[in-house]
Amino acid sequence: MSAAPVAPLATVHAPARPKPPWGVKTPLRLDRWRYFLDKLDKGQLTEPHLHVLHGIEYGFSYRSHKIIDKTCIYDNLPSALAEPDVIDRAIAKETAAGRYLGPYTKSEVENFLGPFIAHPIGIVRKDEHSKPRLIEDLSHPHKGPVLSLNAQTDISGLTVNWGGMTEMTRLVVNAKPGAQGATIDIEGAFRTIGVSPSEFWLGVIGWRERFHIDTATKFGGKGSSHMFEPPADTFCKIVEEELDDIDTTRWADDITLCREPINDEPPYRYLHDTQDVVAIGNDLGFPFSRVNKFSPITKYIGFLWYWDTKVVELPKEKQERTRELVVKTQGIGCTNLKDVRSLCGKLSHVALIVPEGRVHLRSLWKMLSKMESTDMHPNTLWKFLDQQDDDLSWWDEYLAKPKVTMQLCTMRIPDNSLGLFCDASSSYGIGIVIDGFYDSLKFVQNWRTALNTSRDIGWAEALALELLITFLFESRPLYNAHLLVHTDNTGVIGAWNKRSSRNEGTNTIIGRILRILLHNQCFLSLTYIESAVNPADAPSRGGAAPGLTKKAFKGFPVTYKNILYRPT
């Protein structure tokens, strides 16, 4: 018997609501946005920019289906009750900024808005050193028949285009010699975006028996990033249009600027500085909380980016803190759900610039997945198995290095001139093609279970890639190259793109490939080729590759001598 659908709070009919006596509350200046967007669109405003102007003038929508016919006032969180002076200061700051209206009595708010919701408020800190932030729990109630605001917010069809690792890498790699970066933060971020007055009733806070109406988007709101996205993204486009020597990438409210010199030799000269960007932001009504000067080194998404050498580095303090966490976890020998989530999150971030590290995260993610799927108390301690201990030891050793860095690939288009192809077949073995030469290696009869290890064709396809890379680097000196390999196995391509695999054997192979590449500062891209046109297909089945020359490549790994051999 299927469960009955969960009904919205109280009734499916929205009550008649009074018209709020206030308009949209936002620092954004409609006339200046209209001026810049008219220039950007050359007099013919496009639909996305009309949407931005409409949101600035009339407010952005939560896109919520929530309906109530009576006021709901929820108890505030313990963190708020423990530090009432912090809440008092936060409310005073928001009121002075014009984002909070009040204080009012309950009946006054109902006269203004009709039935309303006062969500629980609390205090959060990113860490022990950061400033406290007032939050509204828009996911309350978390259980039961009444759905929360976040649960009833519809963000289908909406996207956020935040520039992360890929976008910043592209910016740094493509930058000319002498390029510099700077970072700026939009102060308040989501709090600069006004909500439609018709939805003010969804954002009321209760404190000391009085109520304030929150008129701005909120941290923790499911739709907040989507409401912030159009103005923030459009601001970056305006900057790039007005200051044509500056490119941008953005992670939420954290914007990185790249400028290139107007001359080709040092000393370099530049047209614009950060103050030119800030001036545009101030003109539009975007305030900035942090403005860093242009420099050859830029900190963005938790890493240091070196524009001249195309290197990305983990800041020393973050490296030390992450290693301390690993060592502490090793010492305990066990973990709970919260701690393993934190550990996986921090190591996954570091692994963005440590490709080999992703191989040594698989056991921890596997453990986390099992913990999350088990109906046990979140504080239950789980003991580490040998694989988790081994991976933690690897991370401990790696993070003990003087520096954790990654050299970015400066060759955007991989080199296809070496003619690299690989393939595997379960019926015979492996075929390798390098620069017009091919090689065939045959599996022993019991290769799937040899040495008491279970293997499948996916593992064999990954092994074909490893042998190709091993033979290639044994045959010629390669350094700082971007290689292109053709394979007809999409599973290998997917695992390589993630730099890890759920299959332990394949995961180990990826680790060995990465060590070879990193040792020679080389990069590898895989591309799909149909089996029918893959020159390595026939050798993988024991046949000859038409038009190619047979060759026994040097460097056969002794690791596989009991699984694979080269027929005479």
Q: Are residues 75 and 109 in the same domain?
A: yes
Q: Are residues 546 and 420 in the same domain?
A: yes
Pick the range with the lowest mean pLDDT from 14-28, 416-430, 443-457: 14-28
The reported pLDDT for the residue numbered 79 is 95
Among residues 437, 423, 459, the alpha carbon closest in space to that of 560 is found at 459
Please give the residue that has the higher pLDDT: either 433 or 2. 433
Q: For residue 103, is it within any domain?
A: yes
Say which CATH number the domain at 204 has: 3.10.10
Instruction: Tell me the C-alpha distance between 196 and 561, whole Å.
Output: 70
Q: Are residues 46 and 154 in the same domain?
A: yes
Q: Are residues 202 and 147 in the same domain?
A: yes
**Dihedral of the CA atoms 526, 529, 534, 538 (nearest 10)?**
90
And the tokens for 131?
């400033």
Q: For residue 282, is it within any domain?
A: yes
List, in sequence order, the alpha helices (H) in 422-561. Answer: 457-475, 490-498, 504-519, 537-540
The reported pLDDT for the residue numbered 3 is 36
Q: Are residues 398 and 455 in the same domain?
A: no
Q: What is the mean pLDDT of residues 326-335?
A: 92
pTM for the model: 0.82
Q: For residue 2, is it within any domain?
A: no
Range of the domain at 384: 316-407
Q: What is the mean pLDDT of residues 144-154?
A: 90
Q: Are residues 424 and 464 in the same domain?
A: yes
Q: Is the pLDDT of residue 135 over 50?
A: yes
State the average pLDDT for the chain.
92
Q: What is the mean pLDDT of residues 186-211?
A: 94
Q: Is the pLDDT of residue 12 over 50?
A: no
Are the beta carbons of 424 and 460 closer than 8 angstroms? yes
The reported pLDDT for the residue numbered 14 is 56
And the tokens for 239?
């900057």
pLDDT per residue as tens digits for the range 99-134: 999 999 999 999 999 999 999 999 998 777 778 889
Q: Is the pLDDT of residue 230 over 90?
A: yes
Please give the residue that has the higher pLDDT: either 317 or 219. 317
Q: Are residues 150 and 290 in the same domain?
A: no
Q: For residue 531, is it within any domain?
A: yes
And the tokens for 433?
């093609």
CB neighbours of residue 129 within 10 Å: 6
HSE-up of residue 443 (Cα within 13 Å, Cβ side): 24
Are the beta carbons of 33 and 284 closer than 8 angstroms? yes
Q: For residue 397, is it within any domain?
A: yes
Say which CATH number the domain at 239 has: 3.30.70.270
Q: Are residues 298 and 339 in the same domain?
A: no
Q: Which residue has the tokens 């030891």?
A: 393
Q: What is the mean pLDDT of residues 356-364?
A: 93
Q: For residue 299, is it within any domain?
A: yes
Q: What is the mean pLDDT of residues 16-23?
A: 89
Q: Is 267 helix (H, G, I), strand (E, B) or coil?
A: coil
Please give the residue that has the higher pLDDT: either 432 or 10. 432
Among the candidates 261, 282, 313, a domain finishes at 313
Q: Is the pLDDT of residue 13 over 60?
A: no
Which pLDDT band holds residue 403 (cuts at 50, 70, 90)? very high
Q: Is the pLDDT of residue 143 over 90?
A: no
Among the candidates 352, 381, 407, a domain finishes at 407
The reported pLDDT for the residue numbered 6 is 34
The reported pLDDT for the residue numbered 519 is 87
Q: Where are the beta strands (DSSP E) in 302-414?
A: 303-306, 311-313, 334-335, 382-383, 405-407
DSSP 198: G
Q: Are residues 83 and 173 in the same domain?
A: no
Q: Are residues 347 and 292 in the same domain?
A: no
Please give the residue that has the higher pLDDT: either 22 or 127. 22
The reported pLDDT for the residue numbered 15 is 63
With a pLDDT cut of 90, the percent of the chain lying above it is 81
Q: Are residues 419 and 520 in the same domain?
A: yes
Q: For residue 12, is it within any domain?
A: no
Q: Are residues 545 and 454 in the same domain?
A: yes
Per-residue H/E/C for 230-282: HHHHHHHHHHHHHCCCEEEEEECCEEEEEECCCCCCCCCCCCCCHHHHHHHHH
Give how many domains the chain has, as a whole number.
4
Q: Is the pLDDT of residue 11 over 90?
A: no
Among residues 468, 438, 467, the alpha carbon closest in space to that of 548 is found at 438
Q: For residue 4, is it within any domain?
A: no
